[in-house]
Amino acid sequence: MYKIFCSSKDKIEPISALLKESSNDFLFKNFYLLDTLSSTQDFAYDLILESSTLEPSVIISDVQSGGKGRKGSTWASPRGGIWMSLVFDPSLKIDQFFFIVIMTSLLLCSIIASFIDKKTGIKWPNDILVERKKIAGILMDTQIQSGNKSTIVLGVGINTNNDLQETCSLMSKSKSSKYEITTIKHENLGISINKEELVTKFLLRFSDYLLRLKEVSFRNELLNKYKRMIEESSKDQQYTFTSGGKPFIGEIVKVNDDGSILVHKLLEPDMNELIRIESAFNIG
């Protein structure tokens, strides 16, 4: 049984169309479709706190006034983009949770590339790029409930039809403008895309892939592809890391099986020293 909670009736039709395309094992059961939220992540946490038996849910808001970014930064979320959070029980071991990030990153690359005639890439650990400019991001949090049950809250932000100039202005005001950004519309020569179609593709494939994550062969396939894309990104994407509280420019030498990376310093005397970077908090 599916439930749709929405702020207006015109939001129901795209989800109804999605559900008609879905199979019986489609993961998500509840859909919250809203005009404005401070953050879909915060809304997801409220749902978890209010219900001990929350079914897998999708939260989508047209606008976020306080969208969440990595390391506590703000993600500019004006009208026109896709701002959503997914809430679900991963049914995986905790040390396998990183595969959800890998899977989502690769999935976003593939789907975004299907809407624009340009190559997509991944900047470690999970920024989605088009020609070195960020077009989408992922934020995964784990909520541990009673009985050590884990619930994943996965935030996904995609710059789709939102105005690029407005988005850049909002980022500048929030002091989160540390990188260049772009939108699908901008890369598509100013032509808007069908956001509902993108969301449908993403949710259907996400649900299917999540089931397959239980397969060792599928996890290895994703990991190998992710490694190649990260190592490729280091060839033309400058990385700034911190080690011991000190920033340095580095190049990724290797991506480990747990998602951590080995880097060596550039422009410094001890540049041959390999440094292990395990957290996104150690990247600029």
Q: Which pTM does this prediction carry?
A: 0.92
Q: Which single residue is written with the structure tokens 């909520």? A: 143
Tokens at residue 90, please?
A: 């991963």
Look at residues 125, 154, 108 and name the one whose alpha carbon lies nearest to residue 241: 125
pLDDT at position 176 over 60: no
pLDDT digits over 132-143, tens only? 899 999 999 987
177 burial via Cβ count (<10 Å: 0-12, 13-18, 19+): middle
Q: Is the peptide bond before 269 cis (omega within 30 degrees of 0)?
A: no
Complete DSSP assignment for 39-83? -HHHHHHHHHHH-TTPPPEEEEEEEEEEEE-GGG-EEEE-TTSEE
Confidence of residue 274 (pLDDT cuts 50, 70, 90): confident
Q: What integer pLDDT is reported at residue 45 of this predicted model?
A: 92
Q: What region does 189 belong to: left with phi over 0, alpha with psi -120 to 50, or beta?
A: left
pLDDT digits over 104-134, tens only? 999 999 999 999 989 999 999 999 999 889 9
Q: What integer pLDDT is reported at residue 228 of this predicted model?
A: 92
**3-class secondary structure, 221:** helix
Written as one letter, the residue type at 16 is: S
Residue 162: DSSP 8-state: S
Confidence of residue 196 (pLDDT cuts 50, 70, 90): very high
Mean pLDDT of the chain: 89
Gap between the Cα atoms of 120 and 90, Å rounded? 27
